[in-house]
Chains A and B, each alone.
Chain A
Amino acid sequence: MAKLDLVAAINQALAQEMEADERVMLLGEDIGVNGGVFRVTDGLQKRFGPDRVVDSPLSESGIIGTSIGLAMAGMRPVPELQFEGFMGPAYDQIVNQAARCRSRTRGAFTCPLTIRVPVGGGIHAPELHSDSPEVVYVHTPGLKVVMPSRPYDAKGLLISAIRDPDPVIFFEPKRVYRAIKEEVPEESYTLPLGKAQVISEGSDLTMISWGAMVSVCLAALDQMPEEASVELIDLQTLSPLDVETITRSVCKTGRAVVVHEAPKTAGLGAEISSLIQEHCFLSLEAPVQRITGFDTSMPYYKLEKQYLPDEDRIMAGVRDCLAY
């Protein structure tokens, strides 16, 4: 089996879905001739032609707005927004249009589009190239939100997202793009949306994370003393949340720590700890802890290391939660 990084796994998923379904088309800034600024769509325009892999004008609102129209008219657009920091101009189209398409027409229209967006910090990128806005879209009814942490999952989840009848935002953690290589089956496969994955089993504490932070959590766990038995859950899909996997684990361990890059206040960790409180109240041995980015703008990259949760912060938080 070939070992692929995240970029190659996503590229393969896109190619296979385009091969399998004539309706699938890609559009975005610099995705065609240039293959995308991260090379995720490399070679696809050559293979499928400029009418199916479209270099769009520089307009995020235009990219998503026309994708909505394409989807309403029976196509399966997979638009790319170049960086999460440039989702702003498309916000209205995503949140007020795509997300409501089905409900406001009582199902007469649907909006099967998959918006691919590189996300997150840690790569020394300029301003507006390192944010983690996933919770904004998790908070938007009508959208599904996916963020894989590794190549194998990314391929299966992206194929599911493209086939999904509703709009999906597919966040691709930049820090993982080239960092992890693993065996990815050549054939097409799907992984279910809405399912979290228990990455390592444990009995004392549940750690919940997603995207690039999963690898950081794993590194922190490697340094934990042997007697601490931590269960790590990779959410993979952020909306809808896999409440069952989360709460079953926390009811077993009695302690939970949520780790994410985004700011703490009203971050997804807040929702998760609320769910835990609702479902696991009598099993809890400690307050749910959130190890997250600070409630500040993402600093420019000189200070991003201090901003992003790292192994030390995770270890300290886990230790305190275990000792409580």
Chain B
Amino acid sequence: MPKEVVYSAQIERLQILGPDGSVDESLAQGTLSDGDVKYLYEQMILCREFDEAAFKLQRSGRMGTFPQNKGQEAATLGAAKALRKGIDYIVPYYRENPAMFLHGLPMHYALLHWMGDERGNAIPANLSMSPICVAIGVQTLHAVGIAWAFKRRKEDRAVICFFGDGATSTGDFHEAMNFASILKVPVVFCCLNNQWAISTPCGHQCASETFAQKALAYGMPTIQADGNDLFAMYKVTNDAMERARAGGGPSFIEAVTYRLGDHTTADDARRYRPAAQLESALKVDPIIRTRKYLEAKNLWDATQQAAAEKKAKGIVHDVIGVAEKMPPQSSDDIFDYMYADLPPELQKQKQTLRTDSIGMDPTQVGLQPPRERDTTRGKPMNAE
């Protein structure tokens, strides 16, 4: 036979919870309990409140650029729910606050990061996650390395790596997929396809019909899920994580969702996004969908809604207070974390806060301080 099909494949798409709040009961079997959904819904409200408050902080000059998660709550939380807290590992990019919060990151850490304070990256040691990653794509390789370490040490742990649709255009992403599948490490690649990479629509980012199919070329199980569907996101992530933990290697998930906000507070999506597209996306807002589900099952009412919103406002208010009341970092912090042992030149720069050397460096042969120095900006080396 001169010509035969040597490979063919299909991409499945999973939806369990429809936009109208109706659920496919058979598919929902064994996924999220009523209690889970209620809890995750409250988290969604909290994260939306956090987003709105962060936006206002930026607008009033109290915080720098901030990327809202708005619209992606179900994708992020549904996936994160499938992880075992403190055991499985989250490698985020910069839009997954809800997943990080769900796994214990104190909320003010996220604010600190965007307030221009590295302490927001000092993830407490008992949490199983890496800090916010600003450079697109790089973290996909880190995730593979972390999963590799788990495999080498035979630990019963798996990694989830989040990235956007835009990140799939980077070389690092493809290298990570290749390494992961060859090494068969326990990592789940979760592509949050929110339709946009800043102003670039995903149809411009890539010419294939789905992002999910990219994994086929790496011989990796792959699936597309309705990213605004908590149940579907939980289910596909749980399947993939279980496969990873059982030694089945990496998987790929494309979560089809929508970025309801601007790319960041530095962006104005009205410049490039058709208004009608946003309007129809607002109608399938995951928060509305989840609420419809809860209400249809008589698990939620207006009183609970008001209470949850009030509680969220209170928490976010307190969190902002904690972030803003952090004692400021001193200039020492610029230097203290560069190396385990600070080299002499850096010690000098730290003490003097200067880089010019006349009189600042008594060890410099032939250079003696010619006169009393102005010490208003830090201590010279030779002062007590």
Contacts and interface: CB of A to CB of B under 8 A. Distances in A.
Interface stretch (A104-112, A211-219, A221-229, A306-314): A306-314
Interface string A289-310: 1111111110111111011010
The CB with the most chain B CB atoms within 10 A, among A34, A58, A293, A295, is that of A58
A301 B64 contact: yes
B200 interface: yes
Contacts of A55: 199-200, 204
A257 B371 contact: no
A57 B165 CA distance: 10
Contacts of B345: 265, 295
B169 A62 contact: yes
B382 interface: no
Shortest Cβ-Cβ A-B pairs, 4 listed: A301-B116, A34-B199, A57-B169, A289-B356
B328 A302 contact: yes
A293 B335 CA distance: 12
B118 A37 contact: no
A279 interface: no
Contacts of A291: 354-356
B271 interface: yes
Interface size on A, as a range, is 35 or more
B304 interface: no
Contact of B135 (A85, A290, A300, A321): A85
B266 interface: yes
Interface in A142-159: none
Nearest to B166: A58
Nearest to A292: B355
Given A33-B199, A299-B334, A300-B117, A289 B135 contact: no
Contact of A295 (B206, B267, B346, B367): B346
30 contacts: A30-B199, A30-B200, A34-B199, A37-B198, A37-B267, A55-B199, A58-B205, A59-B171, A61-B171, A62-B171, A125-B65, A128-B135, A129-B134, A291-B355, A292-B355, A294-B349, A294-B355, A299-B118, A302-B117, A303-B329, A303-B331, A306-B353, A312-B377, A313-B353, A313-B354, A316-B356, A317-B356, A320-B373, A320-B374, A324-B358
B90 interface: no
Contact of B167 (A58, A312, A319, A323): A58
Contacts of A309: 355
B64 A125 contact: yes
Interface in B238-281: 266-267, 271-272
Interface of A: 29-30, 32-35, 37, 55, 57-59, 61-62, 85-86, 88-89, 124-129, 257, 264-265, 286-287, 289-297, 299-304, 306-307, 309, 312-313, 316-317, 319-321, 323-324
B120 to A, nearest CB: 8
B357 A289 contact: yes
B173 to A, nearest CB: 9
B374 A319 contact: yes
Contact of A59 (B170, B199, B334): B170
A58 to B, nearest CB: 4
Interface of B: 64-65, 113-118, 134-137, 166-167, 169-172, 197-200, 204-206, 266-267, 271-272, 328-329, 331, 333-335, 338, 345-346, 349-350, 353-359, 367, 370-371, 373-374, 376-377
A319 B134 CA distance: 40
Given A294-B335, A316-B377, A58 B200 contact: yes
Contacts of B204: 55, 57
Contacts of B373: 320
Given A58-B170, A320-B359, A296 B198 contact: no
A299 B333 contact: yes
A270 B370 CA distance: 23
A55 B166 CA distance: 12
Contact of B338 (A29, A297, A316): A297
Contacts of B118: 299-300
B197 A58 contact: yes
A34 B269 CA distance: 9
A286 B358 contact: yes
Nearest to B64: A124
A128 B139 CA distance: 15
Contacts of A265: 345
